[in-house]
A and B are shown apart, each in its own frame.
Chain A
Amino acid sequence: MTVYGDYLQAIPDRATCLEFSFFITPDFNWRANNLLAQFMADYFANSFPTPADDPLAAHFQHEVNDSISYITNELLENAVKFHCNRTFNIKCGLAFDQEELIIYVANVVSQVLGVQFQERIDQLLKGDAEELLMQQMEANALSTNNLHSGLGLLTIMNDYEARLGWKFEKVLTVPNSFMVTTMVRYNGMYPFLKKQLELVGASESDNELKMGAR
Chain B
Amino acid sequence: MDTQLQIEGSGYKVWYQADGQTVVCQGSLRLNSMQEYNPISQLLTQVLEYHPGILTLDLQELAFLNSSGINVLCKFVIAVRQQKDVSLVVQASNKIPWQGKSLLNLQKLLPSLQLVLND
Contacts and interface: CB of A to CB of B under 8 A. Distances in A.
A59 to B, nearest CB: 9
Contact of A74 (B67, B79, B96): B67
Interface string B71-112: 100110011000000000000000111100110010011000
Interface stretch (A5-13, A112-120, A143-151): A143-151
Interface string B13-56: 00000000000000010111111000000000000000000000
Task: Give the residue among A30, A148, A159 with the most B Cβ atoms within 10 A.
Answer: A159
A148 B32 CA distance: 9
B35 A147 contact: yes
Given A34-B28, A141-B74, A146 B34 contact: yes
B108 A155 contact: no
Given A73-B30, A140-B71, A155-B67, A66 B96 contact: yes
A137 interface: yes
Nearest to A153: B67
Interface in A123-168: 133-134, 137-138, 140-141, 146-149, 151-152, 155, 158-160
Contacts of A96: none
Contacts of B105: 133-134, 137, 158-159
B67 A152 contact: yes
Interface in A66-87: 66-67, 69-70, 73-74, 77, 81
A63 interface: yes
Nearest to B37: A149
A73 B66 contact: yes
Interface residues of B, number: 27
Interface of A: 30-31, 33-34, 62-63, 66-67, 69-70, 73-74, 77, 81, 133-134, 137-138, 140-141, 146-149, 151-152, 155, 158-160
19 contacts: A30-B30, A30-B32, A34-B28, A62-B95, A66-B96, A70-B66, A73-B64, A134-B105, A137-B71, A137-B78, A141-B75, A148-B68, A149-B34, A149-B71, A151-B67, A152-B66, A158-B105, A159-B102, A159-B105
Given A73-B30, A141-B79, 19 more contacts: A30-B31, A30-B32, A62-B97, A63-B97, A67-B97, A67-B98, A69-B64, A77-B66, A134-B105, A137-B71, A137-B105, A137-B109, A138-B109, A147-B34, A147-B35, A152-B66, A155-B67, A159-B98, A159-B102
